[in-house]
Amino acid sequence: MGTGTSPGLDDEFPDAAASKGHPLYDSLQKEAAMMASLRHPSIVMYLGVCLDPPAVVTEYCARGGGSLNDVLKRARTSPLLAAQLDWARRLNMALDAAKGMLYLHSCSPPIIHRDLKSANLLVDRHWRVRVCDFNLSRVMEDSAVLSSVAATNPRWLAPEILSGKGYTFASDVYSFGICMWEVLTWQVPYHEYGPWQVVAMVTESAKRPEVKGWGRGIVFGTLR
């Protein structure tokens, strides 16, 4: 096991953010405090916080430096890697992600990830998956519906998020369903469309990724 930093933090936090009272410093501290309280095999382990440059330090558990997104991308062009991703292994990877998300939702108070996607699911050398990147996570306390944040990529976001209605547990479930679709198909969701086309199709036309075969019922159950 090695160490790594929370994805994107090095770019998001300038040197000035290391000063107490800076909004980004406060954001970093909140993320670190939240991650320090989490202990689960399917959640990336928090190791500490660095102020210069500002970053949350976590265990490094990526297979060859990759996330689930990276693994599936390489598998599309590597017969050797593809041969290792049989149905049993892929389903176990999806189960790991589901266990991690169930743990977050079962915390007291519950935690909504808000940015779940295959790029935020790290794969270790034993093919186990851990949920990471809590930059957008928020603890659900009083309100059942949370204010939304700027979309980083609409391909994994639920229709209510893209419509500006806010986040709920169901939003994470939808994003998990998109990740399951990736595991089943090895494809990028809506790869043939641009981001704004995806937003329009998902919100106005209720479009969902196409699933054939036995996995259809499982995936579509999460994308309602």
Which residues are known catalytic residues? 115
Residue pair 216/123 in contact (Cβ under 8 Å)? The answer is no
Instruction: Report in angstroms the alpha-carbon separations of 89 from 110, 154, 169, 218.
Output: 29, 27, 27, 17
End-to-end CA distance of the chain: 38
Instruction: Report in angstroms the alpha-carbon separations of 117 from 22, 26, 87, 208.
Output: 29, 25, 20, 16
* Rounded-to-integer distance, Cα 123 and Cα 118, Å: 10
- Amino acid (1-letter code) at residue 121: L
User: Across-strand partners of 129?
Assistant: 123
Residue pair 171/158 in contact (Cβ under 8 Å)? The answer is yes
- Closest to 182 (Cα-Cα) out of 67, 99, 69: 69
